[in-house]
Structure 1
Amino acid sequence: MLTQLLSLPRSAKRIIMLAIDSTLILLAFWGAFWVRMDSTAPYTSSAHWQLFLVIAVSTILLFLYVGLYRTVLRYVTAKIFGVAFFGVVGSTILLISLSYFFNVFLPRTVPVIYFSFLMLFVCGFRLFIRRLLSSAVGDRESVIIYGAGASGRQLLTALIQGDKYFPVAFVDDNSALHKVVIHGVAVYNRASLPLLVQRYDINKILLAMPSITMDKRKEVISSLENLPCEVLSIPGMVDLVEGNAQIISLKKVSIDDLLGRESVKPDSVLLAKNIHKKVVMVTGAGGSIGSELCRQILKQSPTVLILFEVSEFGLYSIEKELSGIARNENYGVRIIPLLGTVQKINRLETIMRTFGVETVYHAAAYKHVPLVEYNVVEGVRNNIFGTLYCAQAAIATGVDTFILVSTDKAVRPTNTMGATKRMSELVLQALSQESGQTCFSMVRFGNVLGSSGSVVPLFEKQIEHGGPITLTHKDIIRYFMTIPEASQLVIQAGAMAKGGDVFVLDMGDPVKIYDLATRMIKLSGLTIKNETHPDGDIEIKITGLRPGEKLYEELLIGEQVHGTTHPRIMTAHEEMLSWEVLSEYIDQLDDACNKFEHDEIRAILLKVPTGFQPTDGICDLVWQARHSTDSNALKIKC
């Protein structure tokens, strides 16, 4: 019946409301007389019936005038009282005036009672219908809103007006709100959650706390992990205020909420020092770190931002994004997308000299540990020689500042990728002694959430496909940081450099990857499948450590670590070589790469003081194929 009424055309619904309001006016009119006079009310007086007809028609016209019938009942709010008030006041004044004009008997208290009844009937009926419509769950999914503050109430209103979710309860940690009813929805404490989930068969909990601290958010999310519910969240307060998202734009709880920290407010002076009104070049601009560096650099208003990238699609994507941002925000920055590889020094020199590059952020590198193990020569060429050529081009063209994006895997490396990154650091440290103008520095940090090759997007995809989640070792531990925070800290660290500095970012507490996987499964509203729970949803499968992979990552080699003016940035004083000594190793490495002598490459990386301690044999796939007589050799893990 309700569905049929809702499907009627707007004009038909308006006629029905006119008929209902006429009935309500009748009840208010004669109800007022009945309350005042009881059985002696003039029910049979033709004069009073004529008065009623005039009042009814006039009141309907007044309601039309004040816009009472423009309101959609499904979306009625408390504002209906203000609209109805003017119509009912006008109707009451007409009642008094017309009764006097037509000399109709009207006790003095009847207009007061009539006004009260008509307000109650008109507004109460509309709120009742709204409640009836909102409580008609239908195909809507019952949900709990965590957070009964302003954002939670806005979310409640949005959900009531929608047709997807039906809010059955609020949960809030503020004891003053407990047992309060907001728009018909009661507020409970956190301890009531398991009972509420069971009672209403809840599969989703919606977080409506965009402005709380990161620590508080982590605490709340941790308390929800063991409930059989998916946890969704409204956008952050900044996105809501700036209009980039709506309150109803629900999303899965980001793993940033679990692993992130309260960010330290960036130092605006440090952010702008090497960028503002300068020509800035970012190598590897299409990668995870490179692209975020470009976004942060753009905000500091350089005169020119050069995007240097070997991937055509990567360059196209970041150039299109940044051009759109620059246009919308009126940054006035000239964005230059350039294809090229860091392994061609003449290309690099030409670019830096042509555009007068003043600052270089060198993020181009091969970072995926197993792939570099399988492609050793290309890893060495890109990471070591790519950094060398970029640095030499910077010196030749008079670049002021050169910052290398390094990694924690350069510390006591067990894999070729880590060894090449440490070698890159040695190159810059040696060249910093030779260069008179260019200030070289490097910034070392751990894993970033959401980067290409990161476990987080991999786990998300595996959960989405029903599992299993593949994990190399149950005890593996990593440091994590969000990409925006890492990029901002890289820029600020580079601004503090004096020459040859090795900066180390404070990565916070290490994270056990197995625990990360279990939390991601639980927050998706799923259960872990194992021997204890064979009927679970997602299995965590241990596959064994990959070539060159460590159980634990480190950030420092030596113990000489000093703080800086920034609480998240430290400096490390470590062993270095003169360019005279290092250049001999570089020449040997170049010759070995040209001849594809992988044994010699490894021997050189072991001789140079990189701390290289390989845990596997040579895993290069071409080398294995050339040196194996067993056709199945490539299937054997090195």
Structure 2
Amino acid sequence: MLSRYALSLLALDLALGLAAWWAAFWLRFNFEIPDEFERLALDASGWCVLGLAAGLVVRRVDRQVWTYIGLPEFRQLAGGVFLGAVFTAVAVLMLRIPEFPRSVLLLQPLLAFLLMGTARASWRTWAERGAHGQGGTPVVVVGSLDEAAGALRALRGSQRWRAVGIVSPLAAERGRSLQQVRVLGTVDDLPQVCEAADARTALVASPPGSDERRQALLLASEAHISLLTLPRPDEWLKAESTGPRKIELEDLLGRAPVALDVAGLAELFSGQVVAVTGAGGSIGSELCRQIARFGVGKLVCIDVSEYGIYQLEQELRRSHPQMQGIYYTANVREYERLHAILCQHRPAVVFHAAAYKHVPLMEECNEIEALRTNVLGTLHAARAASACGAKRFVLISTDKAVNPTNVMGASKRLAELMLQALAAREPRTQFVSVRFGNVLGSSGSVVPLFTQQIERGGPVTVTHPEIVRYFMTIPEAAQLVLQAGLMGRSGQIFVLDMGEPVKIVELARMLIRLSGKTEQEVPITFTGLRPGEKLYEELLADDETTEPTPHAKLRIAKTGGALPDVDAVVRWISDAGALPQGTPLREWLRAQVPEYGPR
């Protein structure tokens, strides 16, 4: 049933269609309808109204909301008017009305569409003026006309913001206008344009990672202009993301969205039991969020941190109340505990994200802890998964496992080798490793450290002016891990496309500017490389090659060399004692991982 509001708008449409009917006769007879044709028009007008009503209802034009009318609605209206004209013409021709002027059947729909379209456009114009008037905070849009178009549409639905100008990277666009908003200059002119327009905020419409975003950041921080951007596609799904938000570091680095095999992942997870170790960490918790989206039947979350698993439990119960989540505090170094948990729930897929990952901490005083957690913990989780019938086991590895120069990286490389050795023994489970670089905002990473240093007023400490790292966002990393887990065959090591490496000093400068400060206010100091740290991270070892996969951002590393004796590795680590000496431990580790070269 149509509401009273919809019925009134439909009645108005029919009235306009009837007016177009008489206007068509009026135009056909040069502005003076003969009496006999006036009678003819009156007799046939009922068929016009009925035909138009049928066309509008069939095309669901009666359900339009005029306040938000746009091109799709106008195309829908054109279809309804055309169908109405066809129905009217069929009725008139079947009735064989004598001397009926057939040109009216062509003129009427054109005039009807013109009148009805004008009514809608006028309604929206009036509604926008009434809702927004001259209110809202003035904002300057940064981007070309093509890029600014979407931003202006988003701002029109906001009562908080009002676009007062555009600065474009294309000088040729200066002076042109879009949706009655003029291009007032180039990106270089941003401070002057904002001052002239009395705007202290700029909305960056250029794509993530573009030069315009970085340039706008530099200019805005010096002129004390706040920078905003539009939410990413995944953020529009969140209730709190309803408009422009503050620009963030990942918006400046910029990466193309990950294309997922949604159907394949849904088939892998939907209704299944999935387990995640290290579920309370940055990567583990994001894996849980992504897996929950695919309708998992039961999600078993395991982490040694009580607070981490508690936070995850609260979040998932709030965001996915229909999902059955089981939350365990457990240490992956305790095989019996893992085996009991996994055999109770029998997951189809296990993601192993639990690890020690902080390079300096694992390099001195804690070497044995890196081996017990990263090597034995991986082996325990993999064996427990296989014993309990899991079809797939996915290890989260790191680029630091390639030609490692530190204990942490060497321990992760040894974990990869142990998993490959286990794959040869356990054909029932597909064992896959996934390597990627640094993740923006993950716990213990450089970004939170820099943020804290900036909040304290500096200095921001960078180890070396030339040090570079690969970066990706937490959601992107998790999504590619899921994709690799779907595609991988047992024993394979997947390498993620990390894009271009980023200089850490440039990262620090961007974070300082994002805080609204300059390098003069928050200085950067260089402290020297830490133990085990290298200037450049690699994703493939020197003796490795890769082969492509159907996914553009995933490649398979082809490795050679002998696999370790799993039982011998377990015995050595177990017998090493509570506080082994660092030198013999490193010598043993080099024997297991030949490419390991301590610094």
Normalising by the residue count of structure 1, what TM-score does the alignment of the two structures yield? Answer: 0.67
> Aligned pair in 2 of structure 1 residues 412, 273: CA closer, same or farther (>3 Å)?
farther
| 3-state SS of 1:224 partner | helix
> Aligned pair in 2 of structure 1 residues 181, 501: CA closer, same or farther (>3 Å)?
closer
Aligned counterparts of 1:239 and 1:388: Cα–Cα separation in 2: 35
Identity of aligned residues (%): 42
> Aligned pair in 2 of structure 1 residues 306, 181: CA closer, same or farther (>3 Å)?
closer
1:573 aligned to which of 540, 544, 558: 558
How far residue 192 of structure 1 moved from its aligned partner, in angstroms, is 5.9
1:553 aligned to which of 537, 542, 565: 537
Aligned counterparts of 2:241 and 2:344: Cα–Cα separation in 1: 45
Give 1:366's aligned amino acid.
Y
Give 2:332's aligned amino acid.
V
| 3-state SS of 2:560 partner | coil
- Do residues 346 (structure 1) and 331 (structure 2) align? no
- Do residues 496 (structure 1) and 487 (structure 2) align? yes
| 3-state SS of 1:308 partner | strand
How far residue 231 of structure 1 moved from its aligned partner, in angstroms, is 4.8
- Do residues 151 (structure 1) and 145 (structure 2) align? no
Give 2:152's aligned amino acid.
G
How far residue 153 of structure 1 moved from its aligned partner, in angstroms, is 6.3
> Aligned pair in 2 of structure 1 residues 339, 523: CA closer, same or farther (>3 Å)?
closer
Give 1:389's aligned amino acid.
H
- Do residues 178 (structure 1) and 184 (structure 2) align? no
2:212 aligned to which of 220, 224, 247: 220
Deviations 1:202-235 (A, max 9, x none): 89542253xx644xx6232023243124552244
| 3-state SS of 2:363 partner | helix
Aligned counterparts of 1:155 and 1:548: Cα–Cα separation in 2: 50
> Aligned pair in 2 of structure 1 residues 490, 464: CA closer, same or farther (>3 Å)?
same
RMSD: 3.1
Aligned counterparts of 1:203 and 1:465: Cα–Cα separation in 2: 29
Aligned residue in 2 for 1:483: 474
Give 1:303's aligned amino acid.
G
Aligned residues of 1:276 and 1:303 also touching (Cα < 8 A): yes
> Aligned pair in 2 of structure 1 residues 237, 560: CA closer, same or farther (>3 Å)?
closer
> Aligned pair in 2 of structure 1 residues 563, 143: CA closer, same or farther (>3 Å)?
same
> Aligned pair in 2 of structure 1 residues 166, 394: CA closer, same or farther (>3 Å)?
closer
> Aligned pair in 2 of structure 1 residues 450, 264: CA closer, same or farther (>3 Å)?
same
Aligned counterparts of 2:560 and 2:200: Cα–Cα separation in 1: 54
Aligned counterparts of 2:258 and 2:154: Cα–Cα separation in 1: 30
Give 1:480's aligned amino acid.
F
Gaps of 5+ in 2: 1-66, 68-125
Aligned counterparts of 1:407 and 1:239: Cα–Cα separation in 2: 26
- Do residues 306 (structure 1) and 300 (structure 2) align? yes
- Do residues 238 (structure 1) and 222 (structure 2) align? no
- Do residues 190 (structure 1) and 190 (structure 2) align? no
Give 1:238's aligned amino acid.
P
Aligned residue in 2 for 1:333: 323
Comparing 604-613 with 458-467, greater Cα deviation is found at 458-467
How far residue 572 of structure 1 moved from its aligned partner, in angstroms, is 1.1
Aligned residue in 2 for 1:424: 415
Aligned counterparts of 1:466 and 1:368: Cα–Cα separation in 2: 25
How far residue 245 of structure 1 moved from its aligned partner, in angstroms, is 3.7
How far residue 187 of structure 1 moved from its aligned partner, in angstroms, is 3.3
> Aligned pair in 2 of structure 1 residues 571, 154: CA closer, same or farther (>3 Å)?
closer
Aligned counterparts of 2:469 and 2:250: Cα–Cα separation in 1: 14
Aligned counterparts of 1:363 and 1:608: Cα–Cα separation in 2: 22
How far residue 592 of structure 1 moved from its aligned partner, in angstroms, is 1.1
Give 2:413's aligned amino acid.
R
- Do residues 369 (structure 1) and 359 (structure 2) align? yes
Aligned counterparts of 2:416 and 2:281: Cα–Cα separation in 1: 20
Report matched runs for 1:261-340 at 5 Å: 261-327=255-321, 332-340=322-330
Aligned residue in 2 for 1:92: none
Aligned residue in 1 for 2:575: 591
Aligned counterparts of 1:213 and 1:143: Cα–Cα separation in 2: 18
Aligned residue in 2 for 1:442: 433
Give 1:280's aligned amino acid.
V
Aligned residues of 2:546 and 2:556 also touching (Cα < 8 A): yes
Give 1:574's aligned amino acid.
T
Deviations 1:528-570 (A, max 9, x none): 2xxxxxxx21100111111211111011112321111111111
Report matched runs for 1:405-424 at 5 Å: 405-424=396-415
Deviations 1:242-275 (A, max 9, x none): 4624655531x21112223112411124423542
How far residue 453 of structure 1 moved from its aligned partner, in angstroms, is 1.6
How far residue 197 of structure 1 moved from its aligned partner, in angstroms, is 5.3
Aligned length: 464
Aligned residues of 1:239 and 1:245 also touching (Cα < 8 A): no
The structure having more radius of gyration, on CA atoms, is 1
Aligned counterparts of 1:249 and 1:191: Cα–Cα separation in 2: 19
Aligned counterparts of 2:342 and 2:484: Cα–Cα separation in 1: 22
Comparing 358-367 with 230-239, greater Cα deviation is found at 230-239
Aligned residues of 1:143 and 1:206 also touching (Cα < 8 A): yes
Give 1:265's aligned amino acid.
A
1:359 aligned to which of 349, 362, 366: 349
Aligned counterparts of 2:316 and 2:594: Cα–Cα separation in 1: 37
| 3-state SS of 1:238 partner | coil
Aligned residues of 1:279 and 1:303 also touching (Cα < 8 A): yes
Give 2:203's aligned amino acid.
L
How far residue 173 of structure 1 moved from its aligned partner, in angstroms, is 5.3
| 3-state SS of 1:149 partner | helix
Aligned residues of 1:306 and 1:336 also touching (Cα < 8 A): yes
Give 1:149's aligned amino acid.
A
Aligned counterparts of 1:203 and 1:471: Cα–Cα separation in 2: 35
Aligned residues of 1:362 and 1:405 also touching (Cα < 8 A): yes
> Aligned pair in 2 of structure 1 residues 260, 143: CA closer, same or farther (>3 Å)?
closer
1:511 aligned to which of 488, 502, 523: 502
How far residue 180 of structure 1 moved from its aligned partner, in angstroms, is 3.9
Deviations 1:421-449 (A, max 9, x none): 01101110111111131111100111111
| 3-state SS of 1:144 partner | strand
| 3-state SS of 1:538 partner | coil
| 3-state SS of 1:562 partner | strand
Aligned residue in 2 for 1:402: 393
> Aligned pair in 2 of structure 1 residues 520, 241: CA closer, same or farther (>3 Å)?
closer
Deviations 1:574-609 (A, max 9, x none): 135446x34223312221144634333222101113
Deviations 1:347-369 (A, max 9, x none): 01101111112211000001011
Gaps of 5+ in 1: 1-76, 78-122, 135-139, 529-535, 616-638
Aligned counterparts of 2:598 and 2:185: Cα–Cα separation in 1: 54
Aligned residues of 2:140 and 2:194 also touching (Cα < 8 A): no
Normalising by the residue count of structure 2, what TM-score does the alignment of the two structures yield? Answer: 0.71
| 3-state SS of 1:422 partner | helix
Aligned counterparts of 1:571 and 1:561: Cα–Cα separation in 2: 5
Aligned counterparts of 2:340 and 2:307: Cα–Cα separation in 1: 23
Aligned residues of 2:375 and 2:411 also touching (Cα < 8 A): yes
